Amino acid sequence: MPTLKPPTNQQAAVKLAPLLFKQKHPGLPSLEDTIKLLKFSADSRNLKLRKTVHALAITGNESPRNENVAQATCLINFYSKCDHISLARQVFDNMRQRNVVSYGALMTGYLHNGLLLENLKLFKDMVSVDGLRPNEFVFSIVISSCSISGKVEEGRQCHGFVWKSGLVFHHYVKCALVNFYAKCLDVEMAMMVLNSLPGNDIFSYNSVLSGLIELGRSREGVEVVVRMVSELLWWDSVTYVNAFGLSACLKDLKLGLQVHGQMLKSDAESGVFINCAIINMYGKCGKTLNARKVFDGLITRNVVLWTAMIAAYFQNGYYEEALNSFSQMEHEEVQPNEFTFAVLLNSAAGLSALGHGDALQAHMEKSGFNGHVMVGSDLINMYAKCGNIEAANKVFSRLIYRDSTTWNAMICG
């Protein structure tokens, strides 16, 4: 049978796959022909194409053992991306011979499907059973799996393995190591990896910044930001969110204004999370007018942005404005979440406004938030500050689960 040319676009692939499956010549298309469609359809979102190629792969691959490593690896990649990870593993187990690439394909599938501990087992098999030497791609997957699953000791062992292999200088490995140590909140080690290797990038810096913010080490975070600026690195949305977060933590308006100015000059895309970070920064720095100006300039405003704006008013003692913003939010038909209610209840408590508090409780009951622990604590606190201990008691008795915050709210009331 003549060799097939790879399809040039998705539409051509959709037409070609059924023809291959239905053709009348003896035997089904070989896996060599099917592989061209596998490579193309693995990244396709076309369900019809995926199903047809899936049928071709199963029917055309009747041999119980996969002899061709490249073809089998392509199948593993295809099944992994189609969320058929068990089929990918089946192909892998049927391979008579495996190489680093086939291991990497299955590991990628496990990583994308959240089967992180399977990757650690697979890594051990790769080294001890098949006697293969991992490459930089495999190391980065294993380190990422340790990072996400919180396997600190395994990640450190992998770092030692990487060092011995001489691949620690590779870009992918370095990024994975910095991210691993930052996620484990071992920022010193993350910085050590960052400083010891050439060629820093924005992703590594973002990991370190996130770790420093989580640890409350904002001053050191500013030093990292200054270093990023000196290295003329391009900032992405995560960098801006982190930088605004640092400004908010330190209540450093000057830094916040500089970061905001840089963002506007760079024409960076400002999505929900960046705008939320800007509003939060201005709120924490006591500049609610600046926060409102940013908020009013947004075309679409979801519950996250509304909650950020309401929180900015509350943090600065503008309780009336916070409650008025909720009325505007309702007018725009944006549904509040538990965080919105928490801020609003505290605003009502700040004003000792029982009428507002009763209205909020009715809204919460209608929305199904009455039994929520966090909101329940704030509801008890609101009634207590408004002098209605009986209502606070009633809310407390209806809560299915009570934590220390709930008990404290009741006792203080």
Tell me: pLDDT of 63 over 50.
Answer: no
Distance, in Å, from the CA atom of 306 to the CA atom of 312, rounded to the nearest integer, reads 10
Tell me: pLDDT of 204 over 90.
Answer: no
What local confidence, expressed as pLDDT, does residue 58 receive?
57
Contacts of 314 (CB under 8 A, 6+ apart): 322, 343, 346, 347, 350
Of 27, 33, 29, the C-alpha closest to 5 is: 33
Q: pLDDT-derived band of residue 57, with 50, 70 and 90 as boundaries?
A: low
What local confidence, expressed as pLDDT, does residue 141 receive?
95
Average pLDDT, the chain: 82
Q: Which of 22-26, 294-298, 367-371 has the highest mean pLDDT?
A: 294-298
As a whole-number percent, the residues of the chain with pLDDT over 70 amount to 77
Residue 331 parent element (H or E): helix 319-331
**Positive/negative CA dihedral, 67, 69, 74, 79:** positive
Tokens of 105: 């394909």
User: 4 vs 309, which has greater pLDDT?
Assistant: 309
CB 76 within 8 A of CB 91: yes
User: 365 vs 10, which has greater pLDDT?
Assistant: 365
**Positive/negative CA dihedral, 44, 47, 48, 52:** positive
Tell me: pLDDT of 408 over 70.
Answer: no
Of 111, 176, 113, 194, the C-alpha closest to 140 is: 176
What local confidence, expressed as pLDDT, does residue 13 receive?
47
Distance, in Å, from the CA atom of 341 to the CA atom of 48, rounded to the nearest integer, reads 45
What local confidence, expressed as pLDDT, does residue 410 receive?
55
Hey, is 146 helix, strand or coil?
A: helix
Mean pLDDT of 149-176: 90
What pLDDT digit, counting tens, does each position of 241-292 carry?
Answer: 999 999 999 999 999 999 999 999 887 778 899 999 999 999 999 999 999 9
What local confidence, expressed as pLDDT, does residue 21 receive?
46
Q: Which of 17-21, 210-214, 401-405 has the lowest mean pLDDT?
A: 17-21
Q: H helices within 61-186, ranges in order?
A: 69-81, 85-93, 100-112, 116-128, 136-149, 152-165, 171-183
Contacts of 212 (CB under 8 A, 6+ apart): 187, 218, 220, 221, 224
Backbone φ and ψ of 95, nearest 5°: -75, 130
